[in-house]
Structure 1
Amino acid sequence: MDLTSYVDNLRRELAGVAELGGEEARTLAGRLTGPLESALRLALLEALSAAANEITRDLAPGSVELRLHGREPSFVVTPPPTEPQFEAGPDDSGAGAPTASPDAEDGPVSRISFRLPDQLKSRIEEAAGREGLSVNAWLVRAATAAVQTSPPTRPAGRAPRGGQRYTGWVR
């Protein structure tokens, strides 16, 4: 995204207003345009960054990032991941297969902070990078998959862990 046209437009507007004030106002406007250019570029970048953050909140688990290449900003859009729908085969109950939750993208977005070991953080960053996702999008995907799978069931007839329960008939 080229900000030069926006900066030039403001410069023209300032020069037009200065014309109304005479020679002294034109000279002052000419001296102010240099420092104002940097301030205007910074203000535009802050506005674009705020917009990207707002869009990311609405798009989560997708994201919009504002990146600066030299003096020019660009946007990188990571769409929300689409989880494949798995169908149960003839010998598969499909109980542990992840499915897309219809309400996963609806509703408000919450922020959560948690601590994790540096080594695990590094591994998460690597995994997210391999999949072309932001760390946030990768964590949302992992959390969604974890809560969508049903808890493991115990085989029938086994006692709960640590239990000493027996059932049946004795002669």
Structure 2
Amino acid sequence: MDLAPYVDHLRRELAIAAGAGGEEARALAERLAATLESATRLALLEALSAAADEITQDLAPGSVEVRLRGRDPAFVVTPPPTAQTYEEERPSAPPPPDVDDGGTSRISLRVPEHLKPRIDEAAARDGLSVNAWLVRAVSAALDPGDAARRSGRRPPQQTGNRYSGWVR
């Protein structure tokens, strides 16, 4: 999605509004418009991300993601599975973590290039979006006893900063 037309439109509207204040106001508006471009792009990206989050909540277990390629955002839509429900597909797998009706937070996670395909494969194998799979992995890491109780497995042994046990 090209944000340039929206940024340019805002710049034109600012120039028109400043024109009513005279030549000095118009010159000031032109100087401000150049510095506001990055702030405008960021505000538009935040609005698009918030919209994608709202759509994802209504589309669950499908999802909509906003990815930034260069300076332009792109949408990635993962439709919900239609053939089988999660329980029919993987009866021995633990259910997705309980999600409260509270808000969600957005973070950026950078993983080494070699891990990305493995994460994609694991999420596909579990019939989840990458985001849902990562949420489950983080939840299990933060509360390993709870995840083990849900799945019927023993909690992993913890020694110092290392964990040992089985991961699915």
TM bracket, shorter-chain basis: 0.5 to 0.7
Deviation sequence 1:18-41 (CA, Å, 0-9, x none): 111111001100110111111000
For 1:1-171, list aligned pairs within 5 A: 1-84=1-84, 98=88, 110-111=99-100, 125-129=120-124, 134-136=129-131
Runs of 4+ in structure 1 over 6 Å off: none
Higher relative contact order (CA 8 A, sep 6+): 1
SS of the residue corresponding to residue 2 of structure 1 reads coil
Amino acid at match of 1:34: A
Given that 2:3 and 2:41 are in contact with CA atoms closer than 8 Å, whether structure 1 keeps it comes out as yes
Identical columns (%)? 70
Note the C-alpha offset of 1:82.
1.2
Q: Which has the higher helix share?
A: 2
Amino acid at match of 2:48: L
Note the C-alpha offset of 1:98.
2.8
Deviation sequence 1:104-157 (CA, Å, 0-9, x none): xxxxx9349xxxxxxxxx976532256895235569xxxxxxxxxxxxxxxxxx
Larger Rg: 1
Gaps of 5+ in 1: 86-96, 100-108, 113-121, 140-171
Measure, in 2, the Cα distance between the counterparts of 1:5 and 1:79: 29
Q: 1:123 to 1:36 in 2, by over 3 A?
A: closer
Root-mean-square deviation (Å):
3.2
Q: Tell me the TM-score normalised to structure 2 length.
A: 0.56
Size of the aligned set, in residue pairs, is 111
Gaps of 5+ in 2: 90-97, 102-116, 135-168
